[in-house]
Structure 1
């Protein structure tokens, strides 16, 4: 029976890291089911969901720490099981842009949590616009059956306006 393992690796960004980690995964007879990579500052970050039989997962758990040291990466693993999402709506895309202020993401995510809205994906970036930091954030969210999308859209757009942000809340196509 297939088992799953989440692997996180963080270290100085340089060419070839993804190739080396992918080779290790293959050499251990695991499959990369899902992955995300990003550069934060000068740091490379890579998160993978691996699948394999018990021997393959145990092998990569054993080899990854020493491989991480060789690659100058901080690594972490955690066993998991297949994701079984609760019954939710079709996905919606919530996006917003505006002046970057402390607490913006916290305020928006709290509003969603207060209404049991599931965040499935999140990407937030800050960039300079005329010397002022601005944030651009996109979230894929899903609603519980007990809340109507028009109500959520209204709540979100009101919150964005209060925070001097522009944005949208639309059914994802």
Structure 2
């Protein structure tokens, strides 16, 4: 009688291959808004028998950028890799992709949102990222932009950052350190728990 694999488990000889539907391909694509990378990517993902697990779309400069995470069986992901290679050769999109794995849940991280507004100056984003790195705090999501204030015409910087704070960290002390850091750089900032 043959052996039956349990769902989600690997046979001893399959150590290099994830379980049947736990294969992931991370794809980044850039194109013009007239030739949306989202349409082209989601079509190829669907045609190859994969699911679009996550996607991010944004316009940066004159380019529409898409970051997509495709999930599927090993052979479906391989088929998608070939389809993306053909799409890349067509030249309408600029593509990069590689295999990855599912994100592991981080139950020990508390999600917080940081918002910063300041007069635009070189290095603000670097200083913010460096502050969180020194504290061993992960930046989960970030959206930053530079704009001109309507009332004064001053060049401004704005950032919305989602961070993961270890649950062992003293939140009030971290908030005090962060606000003191921002005061030193003349940044207007808040740090609040993420509300779902």
TM-score range, shorter-chain basis? over 0.9
* 1:50-101 Cα deviation digits (max 9, x unpaired): 1000111001111102213335111011101111144433211111101111
User: Within the alignment, does 1:165 sit opposite 2:162 as a pair?
Assistant: no
Q: 1:133 aligns with which of 144, 147, 155?
A: 155
The ranges of structure 1 where at least 4 consecutive aligned residues each deviate by more than 6 angstroms after the TM superposition are: none
**CA RMSD after TM alignment:** 1.5
Residue of structure 1 in register with 2:114 after alignment: 94
* 1:123-173 Cα deviation digits (max 9, x unpaired): 111111132221110111111233211111111111111111111001111
TM-score (norm 1): 0.93
Q: Which of the two has greater strand per residue?
A: 1
Long gaps (5+) in structure 2? 1-19
Please show how residues 1-173 of structure 1 align to structure 2 within 5 Å. Answer: 1-2=20-21, 3-70=23-90, 72-129=92-149, 130-173=152-195
How many residues in Structure 1 have an aligned counterpart in Structure 2? 173
* 1:24-61 Cα deviation digits (max 9, x unpaired): 11001110000001111101110000100011100111
TM-score (norm 2): 0.83
- Quick check: 1:87–1:144 contact (8 Å CA) kept in 2? no
Which one has more relative contact order, counting CA pairs under 8 Å at least 6 apart?
A: 1
Structure index of larger Rg: 2
Secondary structure (helix, strand or coil) at the match of 2:132 reads helix
